């Protein structure tokens, strides 16, 4: 207790104790008649005839006198006892809170599409997971078209491309969690990377010669790299969620959908041309949901990633990227699995070293690095201006049906091929192409053949994980009887399109159709079958690498994630 308060209390109590007896002394009334006078009337007789009761004479109790010092001691003792009781009560309260907190911080482990450890109050959470995707692919391409694609990619042996094979498309380990209810972290590492050693890509000769190029170190080398690694703060008033690190640039619906929840083996031509180089970048994003989670907004600031989505660092003055995404759910009926998603995306991208390359690869891919060739390629487009990308999203679901359509346009003003002008002069080999415009899009329709549906993720709008209503099982049960169930089955078809030929830049025009059969054994395992047809067209078909033609491919993916 503060000294001033204690002094005031002691002084007030002392004055009260000293003055109270004097204030409480009875006052003797003055006599109303002379001494010895006879009263006007005698006391009334008792109703029973008994003698009258004598008047009561007030008695005076003995007075206890305390000195100011004794009073002060008593007051201080009472105050000390009160403070001690308060301290004991506070200590007991803290002890009870500590015991309750220790109980609520007890960690329990559960399986929820992955291993999750969580405290009772849900303020702390830790997840361990990963994904393995093993692909097999077979290609049907005539020899002339194969050599054209190999020449476009500048291979030493142009005929050695789009070979049949098997590979690990993804092999990832992930750790994520939450601390103190708001601090989140996410770390996912990729083990299925390939580093292109560039000999066959750049056409560098080797001592073994073109006839036997595989005897030297010309294949991609396996490496480990970052996939998505960030930390963040969630549930911030007004702001929502802030994340910093290496994470997705969600420039369309198909990019925002997690890799584990994709319908197709690959996202398609439009994604590869306008988002494939920028799937993951280093930067910061701010996002939140509105209107009972039926609207979503995101803004992001990134460093241009030099067309590599595996870099630990990105360096370059002024190489900044500004992203924005706004989506809404005008229709949302969760009980009937019926919803409609609309969205718009925009990205303003300062060019790394004043150039960008727009290209697209097959819808079924086997291998890594140069083993997966570009089918369409603008080469390096130079400009001191920025690239701007805009995209529109439409996705809807009605019970077992799902349909989606997106369209993207990319523009680069003051575009050049071969380099940049020096002052007002164009060096030899440099040509001006004005404003370069590239476009792309896709339409897809899917339907479940079993009583299942495709869900939706509200806090990062995209497709959700498919959880079969009846998981696959084929076991011998009691009594030798077999137990069998189907899992979830889905069929789908997608048409995708990309046009990279504009303003004298002959990047090529592509159209593709992909059919899919997806078998979801459980919520963590699926097998995908894709058949793809792509048509390449160049205007003009002016060299060996730009020859019109078709390619077909069949792929199978075995996917397990946790």
Lowest mean pLDDT among 250-254, 387-391, 400-404: 250-254
Residue 183 has φ and ψ, to the nearest 5°, of -85, 115
Give the model's pLDDT for residue 306. Answer: 56
Higher model confidence: residue 403 or residue 42?
403
Q: What is the mean pLDDT of the chain?
A: 85
Q: How confident is the model at residue 310 (pLDDT cuts 50, 70, 90)?
A: low
If we measure between CA atoms, which residue out of 390, 315, 397 comes closest to residue 352?
315
- Identify whether the C-beta of residue 322 lies closer than 8 Å to the C-beta of residue 286: no
How far apart, in whole angstroms, are the C-alpha atoms of residue 177 and residue 126?
4
> What average pLDDT does the segment 534-549 reach?
93
C-beta separation of 103 from 120 below 8 A: yes
Average pLDDT over residues 496-506: 96
Domains and CATH numbers, the chain: 116-203+216-561 (2.40.160.10)
By percentage, how much of the chain surpasses pLDDT 70? 80
The Cα 435–Cα 502 span in angstroms is: 9
Find all residues with CB under 8 Å of 266, minimum gap 6, and list them: 272, 361, 362, 363, 364, 365
pLDDT at 453 over 90: yes
The Cα–Cα gap between 451 and 194 comes to 40
pLDDT band at 479 (very low <50, low <70, confident <90, very high): confident
**Is pLDDT above 70 for 19?**
no
Q: Which residues contact 370 (CB under 8 A, 6 or more apart)?
A: 153, 155, 196, 198, 200, 201, 220
Q: Mean pLDDT across the stretch 182-202?
A: 74
Residue from 482, 561, 476, 477 nearest 522 by CA: 561
Alpha-carbon distance of 432 to 426, in angstroms, equals 8
User: Tell me, what's the pLDDT at 70?
Assistant: 76
Q: Which of 34-43, 61-70, 372-381 has the lowest mean pLDDT?
A: 34-43
Look at 36 and 514; give whichever has higher pLDDT: 514
75 — pLDDT class (breaks 50, 70, 90): confident
Pairing of strands 320-333, 436-448: unpaired
Which of 134-138, 151-155, 173-177, 522-526 comes out lowest in average pLDDT?
151-155
pLDDT at 211 over 70: no
Contact 421, 427 (CB under 8 A): yes
In angstroms, the CA 141 to CA 134 distance is 23
183-201 average pLDDT score = 74
* CA angle at 234 for the pair 228 and 237, rounded to the nearest 5°: 145
> Pick from 416, 357, 373: which is nearest to 551 by CA?
373
Question: What Rg do the C-alpha atoms of the chain give, in angstroms?
Answer: 41
Pairing between β-strand 416-417 and β-strand 376-382 as defined by DSSP bridges: antiparallel
Q: What's the pLDDT at 99?
A: 65
Exposed/middle/buried for residue 483 (C-beta within 10 Å: 0-12, 13-18, 19+): exposed
Whole-Å CA distances, 16 to 3, 80, 475: 20, 20, 91
- Spatial distance between the Cα atoms of 548 and 535, rounded to a whole number of angstroms: 8
Residue 42's pLDDT band, with cuts at 50, 70 and 90, is: very low
Q: Output the pLDDT for position 464.
A: 96
């Amino acid at each position: 207790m503060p000294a001033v308060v204690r002094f005031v209390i002691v002084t007030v109590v002392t004055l009260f104790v000293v003055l109270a007896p004097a204030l409480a002394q009875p006052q003797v009334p003055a006599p109303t008649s002379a001494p010895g006078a006879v009263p006007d009337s005698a006391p009334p007789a008792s109703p029973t005839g008994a003698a009258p009761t004598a008047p009561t004479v007030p008695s005076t109790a003995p007075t206890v006198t305390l000195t100011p010092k004794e009073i002060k001691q008593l007051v201080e003792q009472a105050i000390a006892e009160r403070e001690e009781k308060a301290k004991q009560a506070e200590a007991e309260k803290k002890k009870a809170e500590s015991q309750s907190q220790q109980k609520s911080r007890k960690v329990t482990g559960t399986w929820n599409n992955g291993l999750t450890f969580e405290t009772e109050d849900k303020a702390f959470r830790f997840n361990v997971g990963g994904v393995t995707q093993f692909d097999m692919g077979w290609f049907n391409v005539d020899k002339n078209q194969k050599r054209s694609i190999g020449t476009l990619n500048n291979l030493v042996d142009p005929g050695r491309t789009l070979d049949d094979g098997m590979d690990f498309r993804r092999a990832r380990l992930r750790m994520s969690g939450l601390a103190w209810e708001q601090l989140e972290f996410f770390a996912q590492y990729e083990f299925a990377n390939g580093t292109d050693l560039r000999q066959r890509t750049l056409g560098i000769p080797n001592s073994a010669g073109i006839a036997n190029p595989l005897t030297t170190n010309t294949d991609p080398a396996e490496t480990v790299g970052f996939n998505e690694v960030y930390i963040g703060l969630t549930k911030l008033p007004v702001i929502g969620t802030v994340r910093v690190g290496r994470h997705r640039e969600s420039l369309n619906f198909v990019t925002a959908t997690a890799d584990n929840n994709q319908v197709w083996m690959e996202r398609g031509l439009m994604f590869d041309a306008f988002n494939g180089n920028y799937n993951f970048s280093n930067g910061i994003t701010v996002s939140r949901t509105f209107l009972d989670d039926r609207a979503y907004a995101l803004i992001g600031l990134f460093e241009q990633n030099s067309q590599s989505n595996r870099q630990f660092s990105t360096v370059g003055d002024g190489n900044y990227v500004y992203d924005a995404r706004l989506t809404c759910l005008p229709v949302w009926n969760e009980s009937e699995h019926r919803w409609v998603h609309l969205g718009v995306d925009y990205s303003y991208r300062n060019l790394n070293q004043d150039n960008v390359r727009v290209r697209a690869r097959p819808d079924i891919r086997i291998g890594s690095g140069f083993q997966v060739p570009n089918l369409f390629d603008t080469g390096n487009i130079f400009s001191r201006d920025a690239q701007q990308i805009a995209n529109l999203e439409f996705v809807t679901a009605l019970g077992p049906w799902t349909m989606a359509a997106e369209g993207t346009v990319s523009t680069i003003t003051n575009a050049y091929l071969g380099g940049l002008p020096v002052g007002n002069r164009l060096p030899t080999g440099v040509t001006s192409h004005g404003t370069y415009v590239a476009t792309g899009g896709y339409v897809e329709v899917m339907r479940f053949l079993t009583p299942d549906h495709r869900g939706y993720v509200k806090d990062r709008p995209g497709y959700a994980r498919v959880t079969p209503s009846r998981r696959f099982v084929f076991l011998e049960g009691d009594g030798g009887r077999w137990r069998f169930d189907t899992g979830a089955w889905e069929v789908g078809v997608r048409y995708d399109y990309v046009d990279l030929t504009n303003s004298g830049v002959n990047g090529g025009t592509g159209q593709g159709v992909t059919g899919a059969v997806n078998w979801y054994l459980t919520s963590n395992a699926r097998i995908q079958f894709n058949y793809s047809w792509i048509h390449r067209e160049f205007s003009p078909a002016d060299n060996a690498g730009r020859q019109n033609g078709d390619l077909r491919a069949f792929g199978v993916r075995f996917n397990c994630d946790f």
